Amino acid sequence: MDKNEEKQREEEREQVVSPWEVSSSGKIDYDKLIDKFGCQRLDQSLVDRVQRLTGRPPHVFLRRGVFFAHRDLNDILDAYEKGEKFYLYTGRGPSSEALHLGHLVPFMFTKYLQDAFKVPLVIQLTDDEKCMWKNLSVEESQRLARENAKDIIACGFDVTKTFIFSDFDYVGGHILSYIFYLVLVLPKIMRKFPLQCLLQEHGEGCEVVGIFGFTGEDHIGKVSFPPVQAVPSFPSSFPHLFSGKDHLRCLIPCAIDQDPYFRMTRDVAPRIGYHKPALIESSFFPALQGETGKMSASDPNSAIYVTDSAKAIKNKINKYAFSGGQESVELHRKLGANLEEYGAGGMLTGEVKQRLAKVLTELVERHQVARAAVTDEMVDAFMAVRPLPNMFD
pLDDT tens, position by position, 111-122? 999 999 999 999
Give the pairing of strands 22-24 and 162-166.
unpaired
Work out the pLDDT band at 22, boundaries 50, 70, 90.
confident
Looking at per-residue pLDDT, the higher value among 228 and 64 belongs to 64
290 torsion bin: left (phi>0), alpha (psi -120 to 50), beta (else): left
290 or 279, which is more confident: 279
Euclidean distance between CA atoms 57 and 338, whole angstroms: 31
Name which of 25-34, 232-241, 299-308 the model is least confident about.
299-308
Which position has the higher pLDDT, 223 or 341? 223
358 pLDDT more than 50: yes
Task: Name the band, by pLDDT with cuts 50, 70 and 90, for residue 171.
Answer: confident
- Under a CB-based contact definition with an 8 Å cutoff, are residues 96 and 297 in contact? yes
Mean pLDDT across 365-379 = 98
The more confident residue out of 262 and 219 is: 262
Rounded to an integer, the average pLDDT of 228-249 is: 91
Kindly report the pTM of this predicted structure: 0.83
For residues 17 and 3, the model is more confident at 17
What is the Cα–Cα distance from 100 to 382, expressed in whole angstroms? 22
Confidence tier at 324 by pLDDT (50, 70, 90): low
* Confidence band for 332, pLDDT divided at 50, 70 and 90: low
Q: Which residue has the higher pLDDT, 70 or 93?
A: 70
Q: What is the pLDDT of residue 209?
A: 47
Judged on CB neighbours under 10 Å (0-12, 13-18, 19+), 122 is buried
pLDDT reported for residue 51 = 98
Confidence (pLDDT) at 193: 31
pLDDT at 196: 29
Question: pLDDT value at position 321?
Answer: 80
Handedness of CA 7, 13, 18, 22 (dihedral sign): negative
Residue 101, pLDDT above cutoff 80: yes
> What is the pLDDT at residue 194?
31
- The listed range with the strongest mean pLDDT (46-55, 128-137, 332-341) is 46-55
Convert the pLDDT of each residue in 205-216 to its tens digit: 333 345 666 666
55-to-51, 112, 116, 120, 160 alpha-carbon distances in Å = 5, 12, 8, 18, 22
Taking 80 as the threshold, does the pLDDT of residue 184 lie above it?
A: no
Does the pLDDT value for residue 329 go beyond 80? no
Angle (nearest 5°) at CA 159 between 155 and 161: 105
pLDDT band for 172, please (50, 70, 90 cuts).
low
Q: Looking at residues 31-47, what average pLDDT do you find? A: 95
Q: Are 87 and 248 in contact (CB under 8 A)?
A: yes
Whether residue 375 is predicted with pLDDT greater than 60 in this model: the reply is yes
Give the angle subtended at the CA of 162 by the CAs of 156 and 167, to the nearest 5°. 115
Distance of CA 318 to the CA centre of its chain: 28
pLDDT above 60: residue 218? yes
What is the structure's pLDDT at 197? 32
> What is the percent of the chain where pLDDT is above 70?
74
Do residues 302 and 295 lie in contact, with contact meaning Cβ atoms separated by under 8 Å? yes
Q: How far apart are CA 340 and CA 346, in angstroms?
A: 11
Residue 303 has pLDDT above 60, yes or no: yes
Among 148, 162, 169, 92, residue whose Cα is nearest residue 125: 92
SS (H, E, C) the chain: CCHHHHHHHHHHHHEEECCCCEEECCCCCHHHHHHHHCCEECCHHHHHHHHHHHCCCCCHHHHCCCEEEEECHHHHHHHHHCCCCEEEEEEECCCCCCCEHHHHHHHHHHHHHHHHHCCCEEEEECHHHHHHHCCCCHHHHHHHHHHHHHHHHCCCCCCCCEEEEEHHHHCCCHHHHHHHHHHHHHHHHCCCCCCCCCCCCCCCCCCCCCCCCCCCCCCHHHHCHHHHHHHHHCHHHCHHHHCCCCCCEEEEEEEHHHHHHHHHHHHHHHHHCCCCCEEEEECCCEECCEEEEECCCCCHHHCCECCCCHHHHHHHHHHHCCCCCCCCHHHHHHHCCCCHHHCCCCCCHHHHHHHHHHHHHHHHHHHHHHHHCCCHHHHHHHHCCCCCCCCCC
Phi/psi at 321 (nearest 5 deg)? -70, 130
Compute the mean pLDDT over every residue in the chain, rounded to the nearest whole number: 82
Q: How many residues make up the chain in this entry?
A: 393
Taking the C-alpha atoms of residue 363 and residue 381, their distance in angstroms, rounded to an integer, is: 26
Reading phi first (left if > 0) and then psi (alpha if -120 to 50, else beta), residue 273 is in left
State what percent of residues in the chain have pLDDT above 90.
Answer: 50
Q: Which sign does the torsion angle of CA 228, 38, 101, 26 carry?
A: positive
